[in-house]
């Protein structure tokens, strides 16, 4: 009974995450990070290692939640643990992680979730490409695009911020930026 209630609560939290509810995110983060941190530290990892590992697992959870088809069958904690284990393994294999895999990370990730990780890796790849492309963009393009696509500001606000006389001008600037981004991105993407 208690177990079910826990799952119900976790499902609520997950729904909150889907709705971009900051409080749900904070709850999941603060409740689950300490145990991952403790485990990484136990295996002589650093705080940064733990943060990277956990945040990547959280991103996977978030992407899955965003897709809207994710139904939670185990506790969030179990899911996050399992994902962390897989990421840990991956990092070991690619050699950019020196920590031995702890036994306590049980192999509880179903095959479907293994797909999730493969999917995530592809997305991660694309993300890195976009990140690199964005970093090579000059100003004001970088800020305009970030304002529009990350901070979700309206073109009106962006026009005001950058001193354009109207949003039409700002839009023209955005088109130019997009043109440049498109060129750079597909160069990277295809290589």
Partner 1 sequence: MNDFTLIRDIERYLEGEMSEQERTAFEALRQSNPAVNEQVLMHQQLIQQLDQYGQRVAFQEKMDKIHASLAIDEVLPPSRTAPPTKIFTISRRLITNMAAAACIALITSLSTIALMQNANRQKTTAQYEDVRRVLNNIQRSQNALINDINSKKKAPANPGTYGGTGFAISNNGYVVTNYHVIAGADSIYIQNTKGEAFKAASVFEDISSDLAILKITDSTFKGQPLPYTLKPQHALRGEAVFTLGYPRDEIVYGEGYISAQTGFNGDSAAYQVSIPVNPGNSGAPLMDSKGDVVGIVTGKQTTSDGIAFAVKSAHLKRLLEEMPKDKLPKKEWNHKNRLGGLTRVDQVKKLEDFVYMVKVYN
Site residues, partner 1 (CB under 8 A): 22, 25-26, 29-30, 33-34, 37-38, 41-42, 47, 51, 55, 58-59, 62, 66, 123, 126-127, 129-131, 134, 145-146, 149-152, 171-172, 174-176, 178-179, 181-182, 185-186
Residue 112 Cβ, how far from partner 1 at the closest point, in Å?
A: 21
- Rounded-to-integer distance, Cα 141 and Cα 61, Å: 31
CB closer to partner 1 out of 87 and 181: 181
Q: How many CB atoms lie within 10 A of CB 138?
A: 8
Are 68 and 98 spatial neighbours (Cβ–Cβ below 8 Å)?
no
d(CA 191, CA 183): 13
Please say which residue, 34 or 110, places its beta carbon nearer to partner 1.
34
Q: Quote the tokens at residue 190.
A: 């295809």
CB of 107 to partner 1, least distance (A): 25
CB atoms within 10 A of CB 191: 6
Q: Closest distance between partner 1 and the C-beta of residue 78, in Å?
A: 19
């Amino acid at each position: 009974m208690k177990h079910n209630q826990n799952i119900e609560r976790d499902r609520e939290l997950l729904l909150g995450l889907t709705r971009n509810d900051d409080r749900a995110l904070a709850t999941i983060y603060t409740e689950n990070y300490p145990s991952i941190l403790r485990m990484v530290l136990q295996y002589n990892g650093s705080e940064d290692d733990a943060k990277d590992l956990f945040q990547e697992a959280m991103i996977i959870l978030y992407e899955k939640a965003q897709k809207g088809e994710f139904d939670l069958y185990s506790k969030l904690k179990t899911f996050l643990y399992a994902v962390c284990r897989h990421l840990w393994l991956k990092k070991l294999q690619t050699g950019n992680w020196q920590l031995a895999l702890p036994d306590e990370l049980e192999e509880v990730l179903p095959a479907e979730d293994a797909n999730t990780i493969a999917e995530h890796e592809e997305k991660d790849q694309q993300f890195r490409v976009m990140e690199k492309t964005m970093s090579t963009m000059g100003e004001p393009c970088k800020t305009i695009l970030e304002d529009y696509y990350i901070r979700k500001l309206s073109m009106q606000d962006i026009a005001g911020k950058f001193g354009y006389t109207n949003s039409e001008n700002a839009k023209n600037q955005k088109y130019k930026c997009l043109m440049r981004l498109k060129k750079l991105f597909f160069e990277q993407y295809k290589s």
